[in-house]
Structure 1
Amino acid sequence: MATVELRFSALPEHVRTARLVAAAVARRAGVDEAVLDEVRLAVGEACSRAVGLHRNGGVSAPVKVLLIEEEKQFSIEVGDEIPHAAPGEELAAGGDGGVETGEDEMGLAVISGLVDDVEVSAGEHGGSIRMRWPTTPPATYLG
């Protein structure tokens, strides 16, 4: 299993770089060319979401992106360091659930529309979005 780790300051201008790196590593891992635009868009959305959460939450920690190449799949995990309330705790706190907003939910909906295999997790130490795509092994030349 090969992993590339990318960390960047929570600035919107770094999202483009994350998209470009993700697409390049996905291509090398064997993700179908026809899906690379979806990879770029999904990573851009996930990174923009994390940047927004960090900026709105006043967190100076970098956004973390893991690009994981496995035998038959390629995964990208975008992590934030924003504490998220456990299910049901939002209402008990009497607020809006912290940094979760309608815009955040829209971003998650966009990602879910682009990627068939998405896993969203959140806890007191931060959250992550893990996206997976199937890969095909490179063709071998038998000439």
Structure 2
Amino acid sequence: MAVVRLEFTPEPAHVRTVRLVGVAVARRAGVADDQLDEVRLAIGEACARAVARHQRQGIRDAIEVAFSDGDRYLVKVIDHAVSEPLFTADDDEQQITIDVSASLLQGLVKDLKVTPLAKGTEVRMAWPVKRRSR
């Protein structure tokens, strides 16, 4: 099983790069072509959510991303922000981004798991792969 790991500073400009790498790894892993747009969008939303969580709390630690191509194509996005209530009285643009990203992920990814960590969250997404005959 091949694993590609990335870390990036919590800046929106880096999300595009992560999406590009993620789709390239997905294509190499054998994700069906008709699912690559879903993969691209889901990686973008998960990373945008992580960036917004970091920025909202003023965290400069890197966001971690791992892509692996075992029996399924697996993407993990780990942020280091403490958990907050979904909605607060003083919702701002970053909190709205977090909430919308979470909702979009639920609609995009059938195999989605969001796990709270001691400090942060892990968004785990998986897609089926078709192995090429050799």
TM-score by length of 1: 0.83
State the percentage of identical aligned residues: 39
Q: Give CA-to-partner distance per residue, 1:49-100, whole Å, 9 cap, x none.
A: 1011111111010111010111x20100011001225xxxx5xxxx94xx99
> Unpaired segments of 5 or more residues in structure 1?
none
What does 1:1-143 align with in structure 2 at a 5 Å threshold? 1-70=1-70, 72-84=71-83, 96=88, 101-140=95-134
Alignment: residue pair count? 130
Distance, in Å, in 1 between the alignment partners of 2:29 and 2:50 is 24
Give the drift of 1:117. Answer: 0.3
Contact 2:76 2:124 in 1 (8 A): yes
Distance, in Å, in 2 between the alignment partners of 1:56 and 1:101 is 7
Contact 1:84 1:123 in 2 (8 A): no
More moved, 120-129 vs 40-49:
120-129
Q: Report the RMSD for the aligned CA atoms in angstroms.
A: 2.0
> Unpaired segments of 5 or more residues in structure 2?
none
Q: Which has the larger radius of gyration?
A: 1
Letter in 1 for 2:7: R
**Structure 1 ranges of 4+ moved more than 4 A:** none
Q: Specify the SS of the correspondent of 2:13.
A: helix
Contact 2:52 2:97 in 1 (8 A): no
Q: Specify the SS of the correspondent of 1:105.
A: helix
TM-score by length of 2: 0.89
Contact 2:79 2:120 in 1 (8 A): yes
